Amino acid sequence: MLVGMKDSPVSWTVPSNSAPVDPQGPPHWSSDLGDVKVLDFRVQFSTDKTFEGTKADWLYRLNPQREFGNLFSINNGCSKLQAGIGNIQFVKDLLVKRVVTNNFKCSKFGQHIHHLLGWGKMNYCLRHQCKNGYAVLDAIKFRYDNFGGYSYSAVSSLSGMSHSSTAFVGCDHGKCCACFGPKGGKQNYCGSNCTVINGGTITKKAFVWFWVRTRMPQRVWKRCMEFFVNNSAGKREKHFIDPQTSMVHKGSCSESFKSFLNEGTLTVSDKEIFEKIPNVPGLLSYRSDNKQLYVNQGSKWQALGNEKEVQELKYEQNKGLKTLENKLRNQTKELRNQKDEFNNMQDKLEKKVESQKQIIQSQENKIQIQTNQVQSQEIKIEVLQKKVGQQENTSQSQKQRIEKIEKRFQGNKS
């Protein structure tokens, strides 16, 4: 059963609503199947709009089964800090139709922030309509999450986020992509942050389909098959094969049996036929007279998308989100105040440092002046020393002249 479709790897903003999911779009998740117990969850992506371009296609066998609206968790094989799809019995590669690992524990979806955000909001969107996707706070149109991926590993017990994968589609650390390896490959080809390893291939263009199976196929009744043939005049006519006799008859299944299986959903024309359907837990039935989809709970049928319940749950969810948004606003305000206080302290420190720089500069100027004065004193001393030297030389010369005169005088006297 097709439960989700998107036309790019981006997972944050895919809405959910009660409209049936069409393989060709528009992109959205079904919000009416949250209470349906799921046995297999399947991920398929292609590089074009056709299934023929499929590059990766795998399913998780969930053990035990769980309600579709409880697909993601922070336990059951996943860590308390990183939520995802856990309690997986095996992973089957549908491109080669074989089980590739029995040891896989968790496909990590994203960080655990709060049970009402991220993976918790995604679970909520699988039960209720989410106009803007799981990663957006509707009241302020703010995207708060950078994760949201689907992956598996044929060689490791964990995949996604900080763990490598054999195939991956979605968003990791703010980057969105689809990544795959060769058909039937059993290595990891996709690293974190939308990177490739071991010769993998990465693309930002991908069409993604999500499917679920509620139980293993059982022959509760035989499916009616319709087909067209050209008559002798070349005109196309509808025929069907009677599931009881295997005989071909002209006409349609709905005209002859008033109920038929349509891709896992039993379509009936009215209430009378609807009440004759056997109780098969998890079976879906669509009544064309009131355009209502029902799920069988074992002993009774439950209409999906009860408006009153949806409104009550939506009110409680919105109330919780508003409380959380108020907390986020208060925390943001507190962070801004702390930032302003830090900036003020930084300004004061910068001013103090600048003042100390000026004092140091003033002291350096004084030292320079004193140094200049000392140098000037030294020059004056040198000049005085030279003058003293000159005077000493002059005195010595005069002394020598006096001695010569005295010698002459003594000579004349004798």
- Position 230 scores a pLDDT of 76
Angle CA 325–331–336, to nearest 5 = 125
SS3 6: strand
Distance CA 18, CA 128 (A): 8
Phi, psi of 241, rounded to the nearest 5 degrees: -105, 120
β-strand pairing of 16-17 with 28-30: parallel
Rounded CA-CA distance 10/20 in Å is 21
| pLDDT > 90: percent of the chain | 41
Distance CA 118, CA 28 (A): 17
Q: What is the DSSP string of 155-178?
A: SSSEEBTTB-BSEEEEEETTEEEE
User: What are the tens digits of pLDDT across the range 24-58?
Assistant: 889 999 999 999 999 999 999 999 998 889 999 99
Quote the CA–CA distance of 247 and 97 in Å, as a whole number: 32
Spatial distance between the Cα atoms of 9 and 3, rounded to a whole number of angstroms: 16
The secondary structure element, H or E, covering residue 226 is: strand 225-230
Tokens representing residue 5 in the block: 């479709």
d(CA 248, CA 240): 6
Strands across the sheet with 106-111, in order?
A: 82-86, 106-111, 158-159
> 331 with 60: CB under 8 angstroms?
no
DSSP letters along 340-395, please? HHHHHHHHHHHHHHHHHHHHHHHHHHHHHHHHHHHHHHHHHHHHHHHHHHHHHHHH
Q: CA 123 to CA 40: how far, in whole Å? A: 16
Distance, in Å, from the CA atom of 269 to the CA atom of 55, rounded to the nearest integer, reads 39
Q: Is the pLDDT of residue 311 over 80?
A: no
**122, 171 Cβ separation under 8 angstroms:** no
pLDDT of 219 reads 46
Residue 262 has pLDDT above 50, yes or no: no
Locate 217 and state its tokens. 């196929």
Lowest mean per-residue pLDDT among 13-22, 76-85, 229-238, 355-364: 229-238
The pLDDT assigned to 228 comes to 73
Task: Tell me the per-residue pLDDT of 162-186, one tens digit each, with 9 for 90 and over.
Answer: 999 999 999 999 999 999 999 999 9
Neighbours of 397 (CB within 10 A): 10
DSSP bridge pairs for 301:
296
What does the buried/exposed string (b/e) look like for 48-86 if buried means 16 or more CB atoms within 10 Å of the residue's CB? Answer: eeeeeebbbbbbbbbeebbebbebbbbebbbbeebbbbb
- pTM beyond 0.95, yes or no: no
Dump pLDDT digits (tens) for 146-162: 999 999 999 999 999 99
Its sign, for the CA torsion 356, 362, 368, 373, is: negative
Given a cut of 80, whether residue 313 has pLDDT beyond it is no
